[in-house]
Chain A
C-alpha cells in the first residue's frame, strides 16, 4: 500500500460531513437573515452577505486543501513560531488596526481584514500541545500548571487590551483540555463553587438570605462531622469568607461601568429594561420563541428580517434558525454540534501521541465553549458576549479560524499511525 492511500483512508469523514452540513445550513441562514422580500436578490449575489460568505466558504475549502496537502509535521515544527507570530500581531493590532465601536480588532488592507484574536486560538492550541508533549510534563506539578497557564494567559491579556472581553473569555475554555490532561480536580470544584456563589450573590437581591443560607449549610456540616475545635474554626472561617465575598462582589459590580452592570442585571431579569440593555436578549428570545415547533418557514421570519434582532447575521445568527425552523430546526443543529463534539472526543482519545490529543482537546474546548455560550446567550441563559457561532456566523475570520482549528486536527488524526512511530 502506498503511503498516500494510507492517509486518505484514515481521514475521518464523519467529522467532515458534519462540518459541511453545518457550513451549508449556516450559509442558508445568512441569506435568510439579510433577505428582503421587497428587493429579493439571489443567494449568490455578491452585494449581499450570503454572496460574500460564499466566497469565504470557497476560501475555507482552499485552506482545507492546503492543510490536507501540507506535511503533517509542519504544525508540530511551526507551533512556537506561529504562536509568537500571532502574539506579535495581537500586540500591534491596537496600533495599526481599524477602530470600530471603540474596539480595534482587525488588521489588513482595504476590504481584506482579519482578526488576529480569532486565529490566535489555534496557534495557542498548537503551542499548548507542543509544550505539553514533553515527556516530563506533569500537570500535578505546580510549576507545570503555571507554565501552561502562562501560555493561555498571554493572549488573553493582549485581547483584553483591544478590548474584546468576549473573545478573551474563550481562551478560558482551554481548562477543559487541562482537565482531560490531569489538572487536579479540586481547582474545578473550587471554580464551580466560586461561580455558583457569585451567581447567587448577584441573583439574590437581599444578601441576608445568602448569609442565612450559608450559615445553615455550615452549621449542618459542623454538626455532621467530628466536633473538633480546629474543624469548627475552619468552617466558620469559610462561611465568613463566602459572605464577605458576596458583599464585596455587589460592591465591585456597583463600581463597574453602567453598560456592564446592565448586562449582568439583565441576565437575571431581561424585562428590567426591555428597550435598553435587555433589548438584544428580549428580541432574540421573541424571534426564537415565535418560531414554535416547526418554525415559520424558510425566509418567512419577521423578527430577524426586519432588524428587530441586532447582529442577526453574526453573533445572533441562531435567531434566524430558531424563528424559521422552530424547535425541530434548532434541535437538529444542537444535535449536530453535540455529535461533532462527541466525535472529536472519540478522535482525540484514539490519538497515540500526546501532541495530537492535547491539540484535539483544544479544538473540542474552543468549539464547545463557542457553541454553548453563543446559543445560551440568544435564549437568555448567559449574558450577551460577542462571540460567533462556529461555522454559522457571518465573517471570514471566524469561519477560517474554526476551519483551520478543526482541519489541523483532522489532518493530525489521519496521520495517527505515523505519529505513533515518531513517538517511539
Chain B
C-alpha cells in the first residue's frame, strides 16, 4: 500500500548522512581555522632560555658567570599552611606580604603557578630548601642572572638588561621577544650575538584549566637551547684590579695594551661601580642611582673622554718630521721662549734633546717647517696644503677617528683639517700662526686615553699596531675574533726613525718622570699635561716597557692632578712593574699613589 514510503525513508537516511558528511568536510578539511584554534587552546609555546656565555680573563680566571636565583612559586589550589607565623619566619616575609602574594596569585589563577617571592639568592634558598616539602603548592623556579666574582672592569664588561622597544624594532630577524635580556653595553653588548646562545622552544600541552599536561608529541617539535659561546678576554684580571685600586678616589683612565697583539691588558675607568649592582631585581633602581651620580661612574672614560694630547704629541711630531724628511736627528732649534713658554734647559737642542726636555719652542719651529713647505706663494694656501699633508701622516697613528675597539660608543677624538679652520676663520684667513698650538699637542686637537695607549704601543712596536681589543678568543679559538683585530696596521713611518725616539723616551723618564723609573726594567715614557680650562690640569703619562722587548704599553690619565710626572707617571710605573714582575717592590710609591687624592 505504501511502497514509496520505505524508499522515502531510505532517501531521508542517505540525505542526513550526506549532510553530516558535507558539514564535516567543511569544518575538517576545507577550513583549517579550527586546527589553529585547537593549537591555541591546548599547545603552549615555552621558550627555553639558553645560558649566556661566560667571560674569562686572559689567564682563565672567571670574570662573568651565571648565577642561579630562585623564584618561589605558589599554586593556590594546592597551597595550605597551618602555622602562618612559622611560615613567615622560615620564608622571611611578613604576614601582609604573604596574604598579598596569595591574593594576587589567586586572582591570576587558582591552578596555575604565580611567583610568591621573587629572586631568592642561593644562600637564602639554602635556608628554605629543606622546609619546602612541608608546604604543598610551593615550588621553586630557577633562573640565571649575571654575576661577577670580582667587582672589576664594570664598564668594559657592560651589563645586560631588558630589551628596549627601539631594539625590538631593529631586530628584523625577530630573534628577541618583549622581556628578553640583551647585552646593552661593554663586551656584553658588543658580543651579544656570540654570548646569547640559541633559544630553545618547548611545546607543552595544557588542559582546559591551563594545567601542564606534558610535552606535545613527546617533544618531537621541541628544540633544546644552546648555551652561548664563552669569551676569553684580553684583560689580566690581577692587573685590572691593581689598577682599579690605584685609581680609587681619583678620576681618570688607565689603558694597558700588549703592543705585539693589541690586546688590552687593563682598561680602567675611575670612578667605577660594582657590576653586581646592575643585575637581577636591583637593576632598575641601581641604574638610576648610577646615572644620577655626579662622578659619572657609567661614563667609560678610556674610550669616551677626550683631552688634548699635550706634550706627548711631540713624539708624533718628531716621527712625522723625520718621515717627511723635514727633521733629522741633527736638526737643531734654539729654545726661543718668545715663541712659546718652556722649562729651563740648555739651548739650542737637537731632536733628541727636544723630546727629552719636551722643548716647546723646538716644536713650534719644527712644525712650521713641516707645514710651510713653500709649495705655494700664498702663505695661506701654503699652510692649508701643509696642514692637510701633515694630517694624513697623523691619522695613520690611529688618531682623529675611533680605533674600532670592541665596545660601543668609542669616541674618535679630533685632528683638525683645513676645513675646520675654514669654517672657523673663513678660507684664506688663517695661517701657521693660527694653528701653531697643534705643534705641542694643544689647540683644536683631541684624543682618547685608548688612542694614547695605542700610541705607546706604536712607539714600542716601531711603527705598527693592532686595533686594541678586549676579546682574544671565542670558545678558546682565537681565529674567531673579528678579522680587524688580527690585521697589522702600519703607520707609515720607517722603523729606524723610532730608534732615536725610543732612546729619548727612555732618557725622558729621568728628566720629567724620575718617579717612574724601575730598577732592572727600562721604561720608555713621556709625560704630558692636558690643559683643563675648568680647573687643575690633567696629569698624563704614556710608556712602554721593557724598552728592549716591550711587553706592555700604557697610558694613564689622572684628572685634575696637575703636571703629568706626578700622579700619572707613578701609577703607570706601578702598573708596569705589577705586570712584568707580578708584584710591586716599591711600597712607598704605592702608598704615595694610593694616598693621593687628586680629585
What is the distance, in angstroms, from A78's C-beta to the closest C-beta of chain B?
28
Q: Does A63 have its Cβ within 8 Å of any Cβ on chain B?
A: no
Measured between beta carbons, the chain A residues less than 8 angstroms from B34 are 285-286, 288-290
Could you tell me if B14 and A302 are in contact, using CB atoms closer than 8 angstroms?
A: no
- Beyond A286-B41, A307-B208, whether A176 also contacts B9 by CB under 8 A is yes
In the bound assembly, the distance between CA atoms of A345 and B27 in angstroms comes to 31
- Beyond A180-B5, A290-B38, A308-B42, whether A302 also contacts B20 by CB under 8 A is no
Could you tell me if B20 and A379 are in contact, using CB atoms closer than 8 angstroms?
A: yes
Q: Does B21 have its Cβ within 8 Å of any Cβ on chain A?
A: yes
Interface string of A352-395 (1 = CB under 8 A from B): 00000000000010001001100110010100000000000000
Chain B contact surface mostly: helix
Could you tell me if A290 and B20 are in contact, using CB atoms closer than 8 angstroms?
A: no
Could you tell me if B10 and A302 are in contact, using CB atoms closer than 8 angstroms?
A: no
Within 8 A of B (CB), among A23-41: 36-38
Measured between beta carbons, the chain A residues less than 8 angstroms from B35 are 289-290, 292
Q: Does B206 have its Cβ within 8 Å of any Cβ on chain A?
A: yes
Could you tell me if B28 and A302 are in contact, using CB atoms closer than 8 angstroms?
A: no
Give the nearest-CB partner of A279 in chain B.
Answer: B208
Q: Does A287 have its Cβ within 8 Å of any Cβ on chain B?
A: yes
Measured between beta carbons, the chain B residues less than 8 angstroms from A291 are 28
- Beyond A327-B25, A334-B20, A342-B10, whether A303 also contacts B213 by CB under 8 A is no
Could you tell me if B20 and A289 are in contact, using CB atoms closer than 8 angstroms?
A: no
Could you tell me if B28 and A322 are in contact, using CB atoms closer than 8 angstroms?
A: yes
Measured between beta carbons, the chain A residues less than 8 angstroms from B37 are 286, 289-290
Give the nearest-CB partner of A323 in chain B.
Answer: B38
Q: Does B1 have its Cβ within 8 Å of any Cβ on chain A?
A: yes
Interface string of A311-350 (1 = CB under 8 A from B): 0000000000011001100110011011001100100110
Measured between beta carbons, the chain B residues less than 8 angstroms from A181 are 2
Could you tell me if A338 and B9 are in contact, using CB atoms closer than 8 angstroms?
A: no
Could you tell me if B17 and A338 are in contact, using CB atoms closer than 8 angstroms?
A: yes
What is the distance, in angstroms, from B226's C-beta to the closest C-beta of chain A?
28
- Beyond A37-B213, A300-B217, whether A292 also contacts B17 by CB under 8 A is no
Interface string of B11-42 (1 = CB under 8 A from A): 00110110111011101110111110111011
Chain A residues within 8 Å of chain B by Cβ, number: 48
Could you tell me if A288 and B24 are in contact, using CB atoms closer than 8 angstroms?
A: yes
Could you tell me if B21 and A302 are in contact, using CB atoms closer than 8 angstroms?
A: no
Q: Does A80 have its Cβ within 8 Å of any Cβ on chain B?
A: no
Q: Does B284 have its Cβ within 8 Å of any Cβ on chain A?
A: no
In the bound assembly, the distance between CA atoms of A290 and B41 in angstroms comes to 11
Could you tell me if A292 and B1 are in contact, using CB atoms closer than 8 angstroms?
A: no
In the bound assembly, the distance between CA atoms of A96 and B248 in angstroms comes to 91
Could you tell me if A322 and B24 are in contact, using CB atoms closer than 8 angstroms?
A: yes
Q: For B42, give its contact among A288, A306, A345 (CB under 8 Å).
A: A306
Q: For A306, give its contact among B20, B21, B28, B205 (CB under 8 Å).
A: B205
Measured between beta carbons, the chain A residues less than 8 angstroms from B17 are 334-335, 337-338
Q: Does A235 have its Cβ within 8 Å of any Cβ on chain B?
A: no
Measured between beta carbons, the chain A residues less than 8 angstroms from B533 are none
Could you tell me if A303 and B42 are in contact, using CB atoms closer than 8 angstroms?
A: yes
- Beyond A37-B213, A327-B29, A345-B10, whether A306 also contacts B24 by CB under 8 A is no
In the bound assembly, the distance between CA atoms of A348 and B41 in angstroms comes to 47
Q: Does B214 have its Cβ within 8 Å of any Cβ on chain A?
A: yes
Q: Does B84 have its Cβ within 8 Å of any Cβ on chain A?
A: no
Measured between beta carbons, the chain B residues less than 8 angstroms from A38 are 213-214
Interface string of B503-534 (1 = CB under 8 A from A): 00000000000000000000000000000000
Q: Does B452 have its Cβ within 8 Å of any Cβ on chain A?
A: no
Measured between beta carbons, the chain B residues less than 8 angstroms from A305 are 207, 213
Within 8 A of B (CB), among A1-48: 36-38
In the bound assembly, the distance between CA atoms of A181 and B35 in angstroms comes to 46
Q: Does A182 have its Cβ within 8 Å of any Cβ on chain B?
A: yes
What is the distance, in angstroms, from A132's C-beta to the closest C-beta of chain B?
14
Could you tell me if B6 and A349 are in contact, using CB atoms closer than 8 angstroms?
A: yes
Measured between beta carbons, the chain B residues less than 8 angstroms from A172 are none
Give the nearest-CB partner of B218 in chain A.
Answer: A37
Chain A contact surface mostly: helix
In the bound assembly, the distance between CA atoms of A372 and B16 in angstroms comes to 7
Could you tell me if B27 and A306 are in contact, using CB atoms closer than 8 angstroms?
A: no
In the bound assembly, the distance between CA atoms of A322 and B35 in angstroms comes to 12
Q: For B9, give its contact among A180, A308, A334 (CB under 8 Å).
A: A180
Q: Does A209 have its Cβ within 8 Å of any Cβ on chain B?
A: no
In the bound assembly, the distance between CA atoms of A249 and B25 in angstroms comes to 33
What is the distance, in angstroms, from B162's C-beta to the closest C-beta of chain A?
33
Could you tell me if A364 and B29 are in contact, using CB atoms closer than 8 angstroms?
A: no
Could you tell me if B214 and A37 are in contact, using CB atoms closer than 8 angstroms?
A: yes
Which of A37, A305, A326, A381 neighbours the largest number of chain B CB atoms within 10 Å of its CB? A37
In the bound assembly, the distance between CA atoms of A38 and B29 in angstroms comes to 30
Q: Does A293 have its Cβ within 8 Å of any Cβ on chain B?
A: yes
What is the distance, in angstroms, from B24's C-beta to the closest C-beta of chain A?
5
Could you tell me if A375 and B10 are in contact, using CB atoms closer than 8 angstroms?
A: no
Give the nearest-CB partner of B1 in chain A.
Answer: A182
Q: Does A179 have its Cβ within 8 Å of any Cβ on chain B?
A: yes
Q: For A375, give its contact among B20, B27, B205 (CB under 8 Å).
A: B20
Give the nearest-CB partner of B24 in chain A.
Answer: A330
In the bound assembly, the distance between CA atoms of A292 and B213 in angstroms comes to 23
Give the nearest-CB partner of B31 in chain A.
Answer: A289
Measured between beta carbons, the chain A residues less than 8 angstroms from B160 are none
Could you tell me if A289 and B9 are in contact, using CB atoms closer than 8 angstroms?
A: no
What is the distance, in angstroms, from B9's C-beta to the closest C-beta of chain A?
6
Within 8 A of A (CB), among B354-406: none
Could you tell me if A345 and B13 are in contact, using CB atoms closer than 8 angstroms?
A: yes
- Beyond A292-B35, A375-B20, whether A364 also contacts B27 by CB under 8 A is no
Could you tell me if B29 and A293 are in contact, using CB atoms closer than 8 angstroms?
A: yes
Could you tell me if A302 and B38 are in contact, using CB atoms closer than 8 angstroms?
A: yes
Q: Does B593 have its Cβ within 8 Å of any Cβ on chain A?
A: no
In the bound assembly, the distance between CA atoms of A283 and B39 in angstroms comes to 12
- Beyond A286-B38, A338-B14, A375-B20, whether A182 also contacts B2 by CB under 8 A is yes
Measured between beta carbons, the chain A residues less than 8 angstroms from B6 are 180, 345, 348-349
Q: Does B415 have its Cβ within 8 Å of any Cβ on chain A?
A: no
Measured between beta carbons, the chain B residues less than 8 angstroms from A371 are 16
What is the distance, in angstroms, from B29's C-beta to the closest C-beta of chain A?
5
In the bound assembly, the distance between CA atoms of A342 and B12 in angstroms comes to 10
Could you tell me if B13 and A287 are in contact, using CB atoms closer than 8 angstroms?
A: no
What is the distance, in angstroms, from A282's C-beta to the closest C-beta of chain B?
9
Measured between beta carbons, the chain A residues less than 8 angstroms from B207 are 305-308
Measured between beta carbons, the chain A residues less than 8 angstroms from B14 are 338, 342
Nearest 10 interchain pairs by C-beta: A289-B34, A290-B38, A306-B207, A302-B42, A289-B27, A338-B17, A327-B28, A307-B208, A290-B35, A341-B13
Can you list 7 A-B contacts (CB < 8 A)? A36-B213, A37-B213, A300-B217, A307-B209, A323-B38, A327-B25, A330-B21
Q: A-contacting residues of B (Cβ < 8 Å)?
A: 1-2, 5-6, 8-10, 13-14, 16-17, 19-21, 23-25, 27-29, 31-35, 37-39, 41-43, 205-209, 213-214, 216-217
Q: A302-B205, A307-B208, A330-B28 are in contact. List 7 more A-B contacts (CB 8 A).
A: A179-B5, A290-B39, A292-B29, A306-B213, A331-B24, A338-B16, A379-B20
Q: B-contacting residues of A (Cβ < 8 Å)?
A: 36-38, 176, 179-182, 283, 285-293, 300, 302-303, 305-308, 322-323, 326-327, 330-331, 334-335, 337-338, 341-342, 345, 348-349, 364, 368, 371-372, 375-376, 379, 381
